[in-house]
Structure 1
Amino acid sequence: MADILKVTTPLSGYDNSTIKNNPQAGQGVQIQNPVDPSKVMRADNRTDSGGNGDQQLAFQYGSNFGSFLNQVKNIPDLTKIMTDIFFQSEEMLTGGVMGEEAAQKIASFFEAAQMEGEDILPFIKEQAESAVRFNGGIFDQLRHVMAETTSVDLKAEILNFIRKFNDMSSGKHILHDIFNTVKDMEAYVFRQTREQIEALLKELDLSAPEGQTSQNSALLKEKILPFLGRYIAMNHDMGTIRDKISLLTVLIARYENGDREEVLQSFSKLAGYQGFRKFFGAMTAEQFGELLNQVDMEQAAGKNQWADKFVDFLRTGVNGGTGLENKQMFQNMLQSLVLNESVYMPLLHLAFPMNINGRKLFSEMWIDPDEEGSSTQAGAKHTSRIFVKFDIKELGLFKLLLLYGDHAASLQLFYPEKMQKSEANIYKEIKNILDRYHFRADSLYLQAGGGPSSPVEVFPKIHERKNSVDVRI
């Protein structure tokens, strides 16, 4: 009998003429084999996750990062969508399709976009600062610690501290999310159960300060969650309400993680590392607690009045408040904004409309404040790369690429083709702006039309993980 565990010499008498060659052996490597789930097929140059073989490794089929890159390439054009809405705002408000509440929210957002010329710089600065959650002296020092230390444990403790501080500063927001999640469950239960849920929600203290979570956490874990668990067990309800409980448990965990005592204990652990004391000295948890009393938690949580109005504007459109024909546009806007906040997007993304003395424009920008590497490292060259798309009503779409650092700037501007006769004036005014702020122009390039359309074409840093092993779970 043939030994199937190792290679053996065939016995004489085998009819070798019956051995068939592999029908795929002579096929070229460029053949795109169809996917057959019943057997293993040759991969060839097929790239199920998009792109060609040079752009993506074969083992990245369906990876999270590959999926992200594909979405970025096909992302809805936020600038195009927003200008279509913003430039015809009066028609939207007077179209007769909105209720009074929806019209008021839309009008409030358009009113917030009106400003004078001198308001532009403070406004952009405010939006940029709000987009960066962790700023201020403490977090600047923590960045220095992260840049210099080689201790994995210290880095892990810093990240743990930041998570706790983040949850504490967002305490009120998380609590309201918890309340709304439980409130939404009332639509999926019987009337008697609904009344019991309402009674439990009345015990929830929505005015509790950030960091003081013990009372609400006890109510949530000892009364509300067990009650909802018993309801599911008794009624075998495995539908929407069960999914909402999964979300509720995550929110409760975040809310409890933001307890003030948890934050102070996390800071005390950091104080035991020499790399931490190098920058913070002998600061104790009690001294840090006094600093927390002076922190504006709303600002630390990224509270921004303009952003709140923008969220109301989006929510109104997504819910169909501006008419069902506009609903898809708002959903595309939301998809674009969420994708630009992905953990894989190493850039600061800002988008806002402006109505400056009656002239409307919409601007979208991507900023890499640290083009060369970690700006916290001693002696590191600080270089920033910026990509801006701005559409001015009655003029058209502009695209700006700016690389600057050490008081030097390289700039490319792609302007609407109909302004080609004004190129000399545009060049002169840009030079004046650079001179006014004491920047040396290493290069200044102007072109009518064209230019990149996506940040993927401008920022190589987005592709930094393309050659890494990354799988979808």
Structure 2
Amino acid sequence: MADVLKVTTPLSGYDNSTIKNNPQAGQGAQIQNPVDPTRVTRGDNRTNSGGNGEQQLAFQYKSNFGAFLNMVKNVPDLSKIFADIFFQGDEMLTGGVMGQEAAEKIAAFFKATQMNEEDILPFLKEQAESNVKFSGGLFDQMRMVMADTNSVDLKADVLNFIKKFNDMSSGKHILGDIFRTLREMESFVYKQTREQIQEMLKELDMSAQEGNTSENSALLKNKIIPFLARYISANHDMGTVRDKISLLTVLISRYENGNKGEVLQAFQRLTGYQGFRKYFGEMTLNQFSQLLDQVDMDQAAGKNEWSDKFLDFLRTGVNGGTGLENRQTFLNMMNSMILNESVYMPLLHLAFPININGKKLFTEMWIDPDEHGSTTQAGIKRVSRIFVKFDIQGLGQFKLLLVYGEDASSLQLYYPEGMQKSEGSIQKGIKAIFEQHRLRIDNLHLQAGGGPSSPLEVFPKIQERKNSVDVRI
């Protein structure tokens, strides 16, 4: 008779060695929530980090931050991808697939990468300054206010001021995005509606200065948005047009938020805090208004001519201008650039190709200028950490890790394996560079091949939030 009940308790006289355990008695491969009456557990025996009780806390289960860390770890190597395209050079222009406009943009970018040795340092400084959006004496003092106060209200109002200033300095850029979004909507509406949109766009003042947003905001909120809302209601258009209206409302909100009056009100609110007046003294609203008039908004918004050509280069490739077979490559590059600008990335990220006297190289670097936090805190000395990956045409990829502080400094360089015979020359060259710029180097380590591949391996600060509460929406 078949053992339907699969009894596992041995009977008298049976050979215990032949009795097999009940396969259902233990925990199955897919069962992760066994009942333990001695303690309270959550479903599937998971911890808040997504692992089980025996695993250490790693990521929040399906959290935004966990997804970010996973993307950083698995993102394609931008330096290798870009170097492959950049080293092709003019060959991209002779493939016969590009139109005249695309070819001109690619050629303009390649021309912008050509430099002499003496141009490199000013170029690096310019790129770094344009990436640090909130720079200058005003924001240095704002940072001191944030570091010196324990008031949650003061910190919130400082951040509110910075947000409004950011929207004001980006006013022309935001207005351009609004204009382009409306022009894109023309392709998805009827001819009569398209003509009406075109007429309303003529009323937009595209030359309006940053902070002077009242007239354009009124036109957008009181005329253009209601017109589009009526169009959707009348035609029951729930597709692309409605999606673009959602984007449009966000852009309009930012544009209106950047009105100079809004920025002045945010500053006036800050003057009510003693912690703020400690660093700004008795600066009046009129004095601050005059200070705003002297600010270079293009620089404050991070506008950079070289970066604009770089973006045109990426945009041309993403749109298929260099051939559809290269489109995914450009998309990977763009995604990598955007990922490194994430709100979760606490580092300055730079990426740029350079053509020095016909020798091409592509460099990507991550910089943490103050690894231990604010240097305004007593007893804390600044330590800077820099991770650089660069490809040199004809040689290969190098990786450099520099940790530089007041008490100690160290440099690790990982070079292509084919250059092992030149290690002595490389070492002498590095020491000569440090001596030339009067920098101290306590430890110098050179290695052929290997080295870290991701900033996650170099900067512990990136993962500081992994033990915090986070949810995915």
TM-score, normalized by the shorter chain, greater than 0.5: yes
In 2: Cα distance, 1:76 partner to 1:178 partner: 32
Aligned partner of residue 465 in structure 2, secondary structure: coil
Residues 68-147 of structure 1 mapped to structure 2, 5 A cutoff: 68-147=68-147
Tell me what 1:389 maps to. Answer: 389
Residues 146-225 of structure 1 mapped to structure 2, 5 A cutoff: 146-225=146-225
- What are structure 2's unaligned runs of at least 5 residues? 1-6, 8-21, 34-41
Residues 44-63 of structure 1 mapped to structure 2, 5 A cutoff: 53-54=55-56, 56=58, 60-63=60-63
Q: Does 2:419 align with 1:419?
A: yes
Aligned partner of residue 96 in structure 2, secondary structure: coil
Tell me what 1:404 maps to. Answer: 404
C-alpha distance after superposition, 1:146-167 (max 9, x if no partner):
0001111000000000000000
In 1: Cα distance, 2:315 partner to 2:31 partner: 45
In 2: Cα distance, 1:71 partner to 1:24 partner: 39
Q: What amino acid does structure 1 have at the position aligned with 2:322?
A: T
Tell me what 2:315 maps to. Answer: 315
Tell me what 2:352 maps to. Answer: 352
Residues 174-323 of structure 1 mapped to structure 2, 5 A cutoff: 174-323=174-323
Tell me what 1:335 maps to. Answer: 335
Tell me what 1:454 maps to. Answer: 454
Partners of 1:384 and 1:404 within 8 A in 2: yes
Instruction: For residue 89 of structure 1, report the CA deviation from its aligned partner.
Output: 1.4
Partners of 1:146 and 1:155 within 8 A in 2: yes
1:222/1:315 Cα in 2 relative to 1: closer, same or farther (>3 Å)? same
Instruction: For residue 424 of structure 1, report the CA deviation from its aligned partner.
Output: 1.0
Partners of 2:49 and 2:57 within 8 A in 1: no
C-alpha distance after superposition, 1:295-321 (max 9, x if no partner):
110010000000000000000000000
C-alpha distance after superposition, 1:197-245 (max 9, x if no partner):
1111111100011101111111111100110011111111111100000
Tell me what 1:4 maps to. Answer: none
Aligned partner of residue 466 in structure 2, secondary structure: coil
Instruction: For residue 406 of structure 1, report the CA deviation from its aligned partner.
Output: 1.6
Aligned partner of residue 276 in structure 1, secondary structure: helix
Instruction: For residue 379 of structure 1, report the CA deviation from its aligned partner.
Output: 4.2
Aligned-residue RMSD, C-alpha: 2.2
Aligned partner of residue 87 in structure 1, secondary structure: helix
Instruction: For residue 287 of structure 1, report the CA deviation from its aligned partner.
Output: 0.1
Instruction: For residue 380 of structure 1, report the CA deviation from its aligned partner.
Output: 2.4
Q: How many residues align?
A: 444
Partners of 1:32 and 1:45 within 8 A in 2: no
1:45/1:185 Cα in 2 relative to 1: closer, same or farther (>3 Å)? same
1:455/1:221 Cα in 2 relative to 1: closer, same or farther (>3 Å)? same
Residues 356-395 of structure 1 mapped to structure 2, 5 A cutoff: 356-395=356-395
C-alpha distance after superposition, 1:51-108 (max 9, x if no partner):
x943625xx2211011111111110110111010000112111111101100000010
Instruction: For residue 438 of structure 1, report the CA deviation from its aligned partner.
Output: 2.2
Instruction: For residue 33 of structure 1, report the CA deviation from its aligned partner.
Output: 4.4
Partners of 1:408 and 1:442 within 8 A in 2: yes
In 1: Cα distance, 2:30 partner to 2:353 partner: 46
Q: What amino acid does structure 1 have at the position aligned with 2:420?
A: Q
C-alpha distance after superposition, 1:98-125 (max 9, x if no partner):
0110000001001100000011111011
Partners of 2:48 and 2:61 within 8 A in 1: no
Tell me what 2:13 maps to. Answer: none
In 2: Cα distance, 1:23 partner to 1:100 partner: 70
In 1: Cα distance, 2:452 partner to 2:319 partner: 33
Q: Does 2:53 align with 1:42?
A: no
Q: What amino acid does structure 2 have at the position aligned with 1:126?
A: E
Aligned partner of residue 390 in structure 1, secondary structure: strand
Identity %: 70
1:372/1:233 Cα in 2 relative to 1: closer, same or farther (>3 Å)? same
More displaced 10-residue stretch of structure 1: 358-367 or 463-472? 463-472
In 1: Cα distance, 2:438 partner to 2:311 partner: 38
Aligned partner of residue 204 in structure 2, secondary structure: coil
1:205/1:416 Cα in 2 relative to 1: closer, same or farther (>3 Å)? same
In 2: Cα distance, 1:221 partner to 1:83 partner: 46
Taking structure 2 as the reference length, the TM-score comes to 0.90
Partners of 1:47 and 1:53 within 8 A in 2: no
In 1: Cα distance, 2:214 partner to 2:416 partner: 58
Aligned partner of residue 422 in structure 1, secondary structure: helix
Partners of 1:351 and 1:362 within 8 A in 2: yes
Instruction: For residue 400 of structure 1, report the CA deviation from its aligned partner.
Output: 0.2
Instruction: For residue 376 of structure 1, report the CA deviation from its aligned partner.
Output: 3.1
Partners of 1:167 and 1:258 within 8 A in 2: yes
Aligned partner of residue 211 in structure 1, secondary structure: coil
Instruction: For residue 437 of structure 1, report the CA deviation from its aligned partner.
Output: 2.1
Q: What amino acid does structure 2 have at the position aligned with 1:187?
A: S
1:215/1:44 Cα in 2 relative to 1: closer, same or farther (>3 Å)? closer
Partners of 1:33 and 1:46 within 8 A in 2: no
Tell me what 1:470 maps to. Answer: 470
Instruction: For residue 260 of structure 1, report the CA deviation from its aligned partner.
Output: 0.5
More displaced 10-residue stretch of structure 1: 376-385 or 118-127? 376-385
C-alpha distance after superposition, 1:394-417 (max 9, x if no partner):
111110000002274200000111
In 1: Cα distance, 2:284 partner to 2:414 partner: 54
In 1: Cα distance, 2:261 partner to 2:51 partner: 46
Instruction: For residue 372 of structure 1, report the CA deviation from its aligned partner.
Output: 1.5
Partners of 1:172 and 1:206 within 8 A in 2: yes
Q: Does 2:440 align with 1:440?
A: yes
Aligned partner of residue 352 in structure 2, secondary structure: strand
Q: What amino acid does structure 1 have at the position aligned with 2:279?
A: F
Partners of 1:185 and 1:241 within 8 A in 2: yes
Aligned partner of residue 231 in structure 1, secondary structure: helix
Tell me what 2:18 maps to. Answer: none
C-alpha distance after superposition, 1:356-375 (max 9, x if no partner):
01100000000011112212
Partners of 2:51 and 2:57 within 8 A in 1: no
Partners of 2:210 and 2:297 within 8 A in 1: yes
